[in-house]
Amino acid sequence: MRIGKTEKYLYDAISEKGFIHITLIDPEKMDRIEEVVKAAEAAGSSAFMVGGSTSHKTSDYEEAIARIKSNSSLPVIIFPSNVASIARGADAIWFMSLLNSMNPYYIIGAQVLGVKTVRELGLEAIPMAYLILGTGGAAGYVGDAKPIPFEIPELAVGYAMAAEALGFRFVYLEAGSGAKMHVPEKLVSMVRKNISIPLIVGGGIREGAIAESIVTAGADIIVTGDVLEETCAVREKLSEIIEGGRRGVLKRSVKGFKTCC
Ligand code: 1GP
């Protein structure tokens, strides 16, 4: 499959900056969307993801995408929870498989049902393996996942290595939106050392210090959403998280993803 413009943009941005931050917008929580979008771009976020485990209205996705697009030139990537998330106007969609779901619908069923619409809408499909860990949150519940315990990083490594061998081009370690405990650094670094495709980490990253340690451990992309809904100072919070990630790049001993040697 051809690598499209948005995927190339992600690779180039990771190579150039060492890590990137993506801002997650939940289409069910759009009251401050313009403010969050402008703050995210000003703070140095590299892209937007639109999605939510309990958001199942295509019109909400289309509205969120349109409102982001009117306020930013950064790429917008759909982060689908089901086929209803496939919406007009985005640059790309994470064409993802929840590998540790116990329900084949979330591994391949929804993808089979949705792929024609993805093609018809001209959405760039970016293949991504999605793994749910820890308590799993709403994503774990909705996706029928058997979450990988934080205490057994070897399982996450196995899934991530299998994902790369199967041809996925990104791996996402998900602790669940608003998770009290983010993915542990040791687990992130064990996965990082065993795959060469970009590693995304999200769930419960709410402080600069957490972003720093997760990026130090080897995350190429960190995603934050929930914390922005809790704070009035969105730009300051995002700057704190992105600055933390930048410090993490400088402290990193594990090599991150590179497009060339
Ligand atoms: C959720 O990983 C993302 O799918 C982001 O998590 O909302 O906790 O930042 P938060």
Best residue among 54, 55, 177 to mutate for probing ligand 1, ranked by most atoms within 8 Å of CB: 177
Has residue 256 got a pLDDT over 80? no
Residue 131 lies in a domain: yes
| 3-state secondary structure (DSSP) of residue 118 | helix
Residue 89's Cβ-side half-sphere holds a number of Cα atoms within 13 Å equal to 19
Helix (H) or strand (E) holding 93: strand 92-98
Residue 69 CB: number of other CB atoms within 10 A? 17
Residue 260 lies in a domain: no
CA of 176 to the centre of ligand 1 (A): 6
Rounded-to-10 torsion of CA 94, 42, 73, 228: 40
Residue 127 lies in a domain: yes
Residue 178 lies in a domain: yes
Q: In the chain, where does DSSP find H-type helix?
A: 5-17, 33-43, 58-69, 104, 110-120, 137-142, 153-166, 185-194, 208-216, 226-230, 234-251
Give CA–CA dist 137/80, Å, rounded. 16
Q: What is the pLDDT of residue 99?
A: 98
Residue 26 lies in a domain: yes
Has residue 261 got a pLDDT over 60? no
- The answer, as to whether pTM is greater than 0.85, is yes
Instruction: Classify residue 38 as exposed, middle or buried by CB count within 10 Å of its CB (0-12, 13-18, 19+).
Output: middle
| Pocket of ligand 1 contains residue 229 by CB under 6 Å | no
CA of 11 to the centre of ligand 1 (A): 21
Q: Which atom of ligand 1 is nearest to the CA of 203?
A: 6
pLDDT tens figures, 97-155: 999 999 999 999 999 999 999 999 999 999 999 999 999 999 999 999 999 999 999 99
Q: Give the count of domains, the chain.
A: 1
Kindly report the protein residue whose alpha carbon is nearest to atom 9 of ligand 1: 224
Residue 247 lies in a domain: yes
Residue 261 lies in a domain: no
Averaged pLDDT, 159-176 = 98
CA of 95 to the centre of ligand 1 (A): 18
Written as one letter, the residue type at 193 is: K
Residue 242 lies in a domain: yes
Q: List Cβ neighbours of 251 (8 Å cut-off, separation of 6 or more).
A: 212, 216
| Pocket of ligand 1 contains residue 244 by CB under 6 Å | no
Which CATH number characterizes residue 180's domain? 3.20.20.390
CA of 261 to the centre of ligand 1 (A): 31
pLDDT tens figures, 50-105: 999 998 899 999 999 999 999 999 999 999 999 999 999 999 999 999 999 999 99
Residue 174 forms beta bridges with which residues? 132, 202
Residue 195's domain spans which residues? 5-255
